[in-house]
Chain A
Amino acid sequence: MVTMSEAAMSRPGRAMGLAAFLSVVLIALTAVPSIWPQAVPALHGLKIDTDPENMLADDEPVRLFHNRMKAAFSLNDLIVVGVVQEDHPQGVFNPKTLGEVYRLSQAAETLTWDEEDGPAGVIAADIIAPDKVDNIDQAGLGSVSFNWLMPAAPETPEAAQAVRDKALALPMLDDTLVSGDGRALALYIPIREKNDSYRVAAALRDRIAGFDSDATYHITGLPIAQDQFGVEMFKQMAISAPAAMALILLLMWLFFRNLNLVLSPMVVAMVSVIGAMGLLIATGQTVHIMSSMIPIFVMPIAVLDAVHILSDFHDRYPQIGDRRKTVRAVMEELWRPMLFTTLTTAAGFASLAITPIPPVQVFGIFVALGVIFAWAATVTLVPAYIALMPERAFERFRRDAADVAAHPEHIGWLGRLLQGVGGVAYRRARLVLALFVAAVAVAGYGISLIAINDNPVKWFRADHEIRVADRALNERFGGTYMAYLHLGAAEPRTVASVAGDLRERLAALDSAPARRLAERLDQQTETATDPQALLDDLAGWVADAQAAAGDADWQAWEDAAMAVERAAQAGDVFKDPAVLRYVAQLQAALEARDDVGKTNALPDIVKTVHRELLGGEDQAFRIPDSAGGVAQTLITFQNSHRPQDLFKLVTPDYRQAVVWLQLTSGDNAHMRAVVDATEAYMAQNPPPRALDHDWFGLTYINVVWQEKMVAGMAKALTGGFVAVLILMTLLFRSPLWGLLSMVPLTVTIALIYGVIGLVGKAYDMPVAVLSSLSLGLAVDYAIHFNVRSRQIQQRLGDWHAALTHVFGEPARAIARNVIVIGAGFTPLLAAPLVPYQTVGALISAILVCAGIATLIGLPALITLFRRWLFADAPASQPAQRRA
């Protein structure tokens, strides 16, 4: 490594040029296919991925099930337009606003276009809007009517109110289309692909801009949130990350007062970030919420080593007086800690590759690569950069040092502070240790309080339009977070069970045709393997026999044929009144919970149509008493404008159904509670016929990935911890020093997570990922501190004297690092997305905490255990002085 630095210094121009060339090549390699994708099909352009589902691999069982169910029930991603009007006595239900809503819905229907692979845009037939859904109600004596809920924009206040009243009477629309208080409404606009949302939303916004009522229009829904997320991600990468860099630059300038010199860590950071992100894009990885944070993670680590070099250079240049010799001395002293900090940091991030979350794996691997690039750039470019600067540029360092030598009181606030800290750690070692133990104990209690929770909508700031819309709609409607409980017939359906059932039905008929059919049944049963094939065969046979029979036998044959049909329908579990009543009870149990705003399922349709068929009275709002009653109620429903809506709740074979839950919160903790409550309900109240159940919907997928992530992070952290411990033991050739080096990071991780538990911040995605950063960063300081302590102790042979030196230049380098990088990340607090804010706050906290643990904890521990720590020190030292 020193050789690398020497080489770079002897050809500084070439080193810088090579770095610049490689950077330009990488930029071109990714920019060209991004801008002209057709020109170079072999290369990968920038691909943005804002789909939270991709937190799981696309062959993850829960995702496969989710996609299968979305297809089976024709469910699509929805753009939700909420319309709220506070100041009007009728809310939005006045002619003017409903006129706008009508025009908006009519416009939405036309937002379709053709793409190469078929139609794109809005699925007009599935729009839920007042003019697009049917009303079913009484139309005079003995008459039931199916009509559009709002066939045209109402012209009078009374007509507008009537739209509201009709919708509130329909369970499927109450709290979904119309808010429970009857003052707001929501349109649900399904789109074929999530990617269609931007164009559709833009057209809707245009249309809304021309409206002049006092209503407020909120456009939201998952696809919109994802589009917004992509935009904010770019803002973060384009504004927040560079702002952090600028602040780091400013802080370094304050320390070193040499703008030219402090640009060199910036060059290192740029080269490392370009290297990591360039490779990420060029290898075809997507830029996801996780990978968009790579620059933010690589930057502090990249700057860290450079700051050590500059700090050491700044302090030693005055004694040595020649920039090349000074660099050589600095590199000889620092090569070992820098290499090891790089290896440990890279190991910490690489350990994320063992989590089961693909974006986290990619993140870990490419941050690790960035760290290695940063090391290579640091040991070559910083020396080359210094070599390119004239000797006189460092004149000021010499003057400052001379000033401090002449006036020791001029060592500055940092120098004085550090000397004080070192003294305290030495004299009050036991007290320091006791305080650390107490802090860790409190942290342990805090960790026990940690609540695991996340909610991708809350990744937006509270004042973001998505959050505003989210609150506005969830206050008024059943909820905008969708989860789906799938119920499937689970009773075995075999040739034997079907044949047995049919045999009984035929025996009950007691006719000659029934007996002949029973004979046929017995014959066929012997060879049949599939119950449906058996029934199909019998149906065909009996139809032929019926056609051939005379008029006299026609009805008897018809009855026999009907027996076959009825046997076939015995498996239509979701026409069974007992099953539907059970589903309705399950819905009621779920709706009793605060976190479930509303549920929609097949029983709601059956009960509503039944009520209207029987005169519209409340007591008729129930499930009919027979499967035939259910079937005939449903065939009546299918005479409406939208018969296909039925099959969003049940499959056409009536063997699978969904309960669609509208949750008022997208918190994973709430979804998990609903899942557990359902589990408990179904265990205590077994269904009347065997039913499988499972969940899908994004709100549920979020829970699955989070749970995998928490478990995966625990494994990654343990794996990373062990790897770092082994590296430390190898570095120091001493298990004791190895363990000692683990103290600051252990304390840091404990305190960070302890505080998170104590203040009640949820353990979410960014918090989980930061454990790796703590591991990587906190050990860095310990390595620098321990290596330098051993070097100086070996030179001086006396720990007390050595400590004073350690709290000179080495401690200053660490403290400067803490301040530069810790403060440098505060611009992230202004980032538009909450995960970035969390990351910014936690990086700063981690650095401060690791700095304190290193600068106070380690000297105290070394002081207390110096007899064992330095027992064999001389033997291990020679290795350190290799050039």
Chain B
Amino acid sequence: MMTRLFRRPLAAAHAIAGAAFVAALALPGGLTPGAVAQDLTDAQAIVDRASAASYYQGPDGRARVHMSITDAQGRERSRDFTILRTDIDDRDNGEQRFYVHFSRPADVNGTVFMVWKHVGADDDRWLYLPALDLVKRIAASDERTSFVGSHFFYEDVSGRGPREDTHSLAQTTDTYYVVDSEPKDPSKAEFARYRNYIHKDTFLPVKTEYFDGQGKVYRTYTVEQVETIDGHPTVTRARMADSQIGGATVMRYSSVAYDVGLPQDVFTERYLRNPPRQHLR
């Protein structure tokens, strides 16, 4: 989950594809028992399950993330952070809270980004900057701004609401549901549509392609590695490439854990200045 947290399920989002890790996906032991279960045909239902599989595994979760940002000229920057997540009332596709604590680069060590994700309303976001000893609420008209300078958007990390788009099932293959999604409010999205390749067994979107108004793919999310952790198929490496600005960001997840028992008050303003160290290792 966490991982997924991060990888955003983008609401439905992501997609699939790539053959290489298909092998990894094919085995997730627990999830596919009845395997040959009936294929789903309701696109919205598929997307809801994909969102749940990507962002809502277990009641809470934790992961350490190493993010490597490579720009168009091949220059690399990195960030390390820990993500804590809790689901309110352990409800799939419901309210969630995230606590993102940065440790590297050294000069942003202690920076915290906190989100209260709401369904059907703007999220609440906070930023804590230790060098300025400043807690700031962040307001933004849309959630498609860069996440700390990477190719991932803020929304890719917290998850795009499954109800923000109109979904249609383009194709069902042996392995994937291929779902096309168009934004209900085009003014809040820079894409014209996106296509998700959702793995039929795990419901993890393993590839997502974003199309511009001219029908060209300009942004591609690819899952590069999936591991089953605590029984949950978990994306442990994912890439986001953007041909408009060039380059790509890769996120690697480690120390992933579910059902950690995070106290709810960790996700409050007073923990911004005093990180819950025992949960961040």
Question: Measuring CB to CB, which residues of chain A are less than 8 angstroms from any residue of chain B?
Answer: 71-72, 74, 110, 112, 119, 123-125, 134, 139-140, 142-148, 151-152, 551, 554-555, 558, 562, 565-566, 568-569, 572, 575, 610, 613-614, 624, 626-633, 635-636, 638-644, 646-647, 651-653
Least CB distance from A84 to B in Å reads 29
Instruction: List B contacts of A646 (CB < 8 A).
Output: 149
Interface pair B140/A146, CB less than 8 Å apart: yes
Is the CB–CB distance between B244 and A124 below 8 Å?
A: yes
Q: Is the pair A125, B281 in contact by a Cβ cutoff of 8 Å?
A: no
User: With A and B bound together, what is the CA distance between A123 and B213 in angstroms?
Assistant: 15
Is B131 a contact partner of A640 (Cβ separation < 8 A)?
Answer: no
Cβ of B127 under 8 Å from chain A: yes
Contact B105 A569 (CB under 8 A): yes
Binding site of B, secondary structure by majority: helix, strand, loop or mixed? mixed
Which of chain B's residues 104-135 have a Cβ closer than 8 Å to chain A? Answer: 104-109, 111, 127, 129-132, 134-135
State whether B131 touches A151 (Cβ < 8 A).
no
Closest A-chain residue to B128, C-beta based?
A632
Interface residues of B in 166-220 (CB under 8 A from A): 187, 213-214
Question: Are the CB atoms of A147 and B140 closer together than 8 Å?
Answer: yes
Closest to B147 in A: A639
CB pair B148–A635 under 8 Å, yes or no, is yes
- CA distance in complex: A555, B145 (Å): 33
A-B contact pairs, 5 of them (CB 8 A): A145-B140, A565-B106, A629-B129, A636-B127, A638-B148
Further 5 A-B residue pairs, CB within 8 A, beyond A569-B107, A614-B134, A635-B111: A147-B141, A148-B141, A572-B107, A632-B107, A652-B76
Q: Which residues of B contact A629 (CB under 8 A)?
A: 129, 131-132
Chain B positions within 8 Å of A143 at CB level: 136-139
User: Considering the chains assembled together, what is the distance between the CA atoms of A614 and B138 in angstroms?
Assistant: 13
Q: How far is the CA of A425 from the CA of B24 in the complex (A)?
A: 104
Count residues on chain B whose CB falls below 8 Å from chain A CBs.
Answer: 43
Which residue on A lies nearest to B135, using beta carbons? Answer: A142
**Contact assessment for B73 and A575 in the assembled complex, using a CB-CB cutoff below 8 Å:** no
Whole-angstrom CA separation of A630 from B107 in the bound complex: 9
Contact A635 B106, CB 8 Å, known A110-B213, A643-B146: no
Bound state CA distance, A554 and B279, in angstroms? 12
Whether A613 and B136, one on each chain, are in contact in the complex, defined by CB atoms closer than 8 angstroms, is yes
Report whether B71 and A647 are in contact in the complex, using a CB–CB cutoff of 8 Å: yes
A146 and B145 within 8 A (CB): yes
The answer to whether A639 touches B154, judged by C-beta atoms less than 8 angstroms apart, is: yes
Query: B126 to chain A: closest CB distance in Å?
Result: 10
Contact of A152 among B109, B187, B244 (CB under 8 A): B187
The interface residues of chain B lying within 8 Å CB-to-CB of A610 are 132
Q: Which residue of A lies closest to B281 (CB)?
A: A554
B111:A651 contact, CB within 8 angstroms: no
* B91: Cβ under 8 A from any A Cβ: no
Of chain A, the residue at the smallest CB distance from B79 is A635
Residues of B within 8 A of A72 (CB): 73
* B105 and A652 within 8 A (CB): no
Residue with the greatest number of chain A CB neighbours at <10 A, chosen from B77, B102, B109, B277 = B109
**Is the pair B140, A631 in contact by a Cβ cutoff of 8 Å?**
no
Q: Are B75 and A651 interface neighbours, CB within 8 A?
A: yes
- CB contacts (< 8 Å) of A641 on chain B: these are 144-146
Contacts of B154 in A (CB 8 A): 639
Across the interface, which residues of B come within 8 angstroms of A638, CB to CB?
A: 146, 148-149
Residues of B within 8 Å of A554, CB to CB, are: 281
Contacts of B245 in A (CB 8 A): 125, 644
Task: Give B56-112 interface residues, CB cut-off 8 Å to A.
Answer: 71-73, 75-77, 102-109, 111
Cα–Cα, bound, A112→B72 (Å):
18
Contact call B104/A142, Cβ cutoff below 8 A: no
- Residues of chain B with a CB closer than 8 A to A647's CB: 71
Cα-based distance from A554 to B281 in the complex (angstroms)? 8
Residue from the set B141, B145, B187, B213 with the largest chain A CB neighbour count within 10 Å: B145
Which residues on A sit within 8 Å (CB–CB) of B139? 139-140, 143-145
